[in-house]
Amino acid sequence: MSEKREKLPLNKVDGKVVIITGASKGIGKAIATTLGEAGATVVLAARTQNTLDKVVNELTDKGVKALSVPTDVTDTKSVESLIQKTLDSYHKLDILVNNAGSGVFGNVVDFPVSDWDSVINSNLKGLYLCTKSALPTFVSQGDGQIINVLSIAAKVTFQASAAYCAAKAGALAFTKVLSAEVRQQNIRVTAILPGSVETPFWEDIPQHPDFDKMLQPEHIAETVLSICQQPRGMVTEEITVTPPLGIL
């Protein structure tokens, strides 16, 4: 009979320092809440100070260690300041969750160049800037984790969403290249591709899937937590999360 192997111990997020972008609402807020309640110190980044502060107050009332850092992820200096303020406050960074992004929709023939730039910058350039700014810390520590919350649109195209699909597909390719580049430095990189999630994202979109059939932000947050808890030496490079009824 073969000997029974001991189960690999799960990683704990307790005591880890996590930056979450786009953390003032929706999926980002749910991730900050879930990781914070699991014991992580969470740094919340988004553009609006007041909204961020409200979330931080909610979390601190629950006993979560939380810090708000207003950040424009498309601006290099703003992102560098986010990383530096995190290090100044906690002297380390363990996990980066790139969640910030936006969507503007319309047919290519009528789509303004300014909207194209906005979508590409928020979903792709912002992810690149945050990752690039965090990597030196991860490399020097010899440890780190990057989780990119993308969209099923990285693989499944939808009409009137050329900019959004292109940005998410680019972000998925970026994630895969990055994962190969930093694996030897003990840095884990994962892409999460959610289907439709009931968030404020849909407020300005008149035609959308049935809200009752969508995922909830907490579904994505629990997925992020499970990835953070995976045993050392294990990397999930990509995971797709869809509602049980198959609505994308």
Handedness of CA 117, 120, 124, 127 (dihedral sign): positive
Name the token pair of 244: 């049980």
Cβ neighbours of residue 208 under 8 Å, at least 6 residues apart? 196, 202
Beta carbons of 99 and 22 less than 8 angstroms apart: yes
Beta carbons of 93 and 134 less than 8 angstroms apart: yes
**Within 10 A of 104 (CB to CB), how many other CB atoms are there?**
18
Q: Provide the Cα torsion 141, 168, 153, 179; round to 10°.
A: -30
Between CA 120 and CA 236 the distance in angstroms is 25
* Runs of H (alpha helix) within the chain: 26-37, 49-61, 76-90, 113-120, 126-141, 162-182, 217-228
Asked if 90 is an active-site residue, the reply is no
Catalytic-labelled residue, pool 128, 138, 164, 174: 164
Active-site annotation, residues: 164
